[in-house]
A and B are shown apart, each in its own frame.
Chain A
Amino acid sequence: GAVVSQHPSWVICKSGTSVKIECRSLDFQATTMFWYRQFPKQSLMLMATSNEGSKATYEQGVEKDKFLINHASLTLSTLTVTSAHPEDSSFYICSARDREVKLFFGSGTQLSVL
């Protein structure tokens, strides 16, 4: 089946630094990528939707200047958490949609900001 590779799976960084999370569709073209955030013991909250070659659409309350999303190709989308702070510590998951409008999830990235 279709595979979405997300890495790193775990990252620890110092407060104030930036972290980039990559999401790749390995055997299909992802026309749309969704980025979710999950706090401990809570549900997944949609952060933004990105279409290849277009600017991402952010959900209300999500700072676009803090969470930079790039979807430059049909197989790669990146989420960069800029100037990370401890409150940004969370589990981030990407989801890719193929041309048949099926959704596939990455394995997630646990971000810990010290």
Chain B
Amino acid sequence: AQSVAQPEDQVNVAEGNPLTVKCTYSVSGNPYLFWYVQYPNRGLQFLLKYITGDNLVKGSYGFEAEFNKSQTSFHLKKPSALVSDSALYFCAVSYQAGTALIFGKGTTLSVSS
């Protein structure tokens, strides 16, 4: 069965420092991997996705993620965090293009000034 794990409920970083939000997945075949951000009482905003190709994916707002097949991971990163990055981040996976996404439980990112 397909699944996604986000091992951290919360990540705290200081503004200007690099941030990492972890995600590991389990899916048969080649995964389609996504990161979304959610602000309070709002829908999901797409950040980036990995389908195939280069393992390092660059997305919106300066975020990037690295696909690591051997570790089945897709960690979200940003070199320099902003206070405005504080939000709830979801990693998601699907096993086929356009199928429903399976979401991780989410990680709250808190960036302090």
A interface list, Cβ under 8 A from B: 6, 9-10, 32, 34, 36, 41-46, 49, 91, 93, 95, 97, 101-103, 105-108, 110
Contacts and interface: CB of A to CB of B under 8 A. Distances in A.
A108 B43 contact: yes
Contact of A95 (B42, B90, B101, B105): B101
Nearest to B104: A43
Given A43-B90, A44-B90, A101-B97, A107 B102 contact: no
B70 interface: no
Contact residues of A: prevailing secondary structure = strand
Contact of A101 (B46, B98, B104): B98
B40 to A, nearest CB: 10
A42 B98 contact: no
Given A93-B43, A108-B42, A108-B43, A42 B105 contact: yes
B106 A42 contact: yes
A9 B98 CA distance: 25
B44 interface: yes
A90 to B, nearest CB: 12
A47 B43 CA distance: 16
B28 interface: no
A43 B98 contact: no
17 contacts: A34-B100, A36-B103, A43-B104, A43-B105, A43-B106, A44-B90, A44-B101, A93-B43, A93-B44, A95-B101, A97-B98, A101-B97, A105-B36, A105-B43, A105-B46, A106-B43, A108-B43
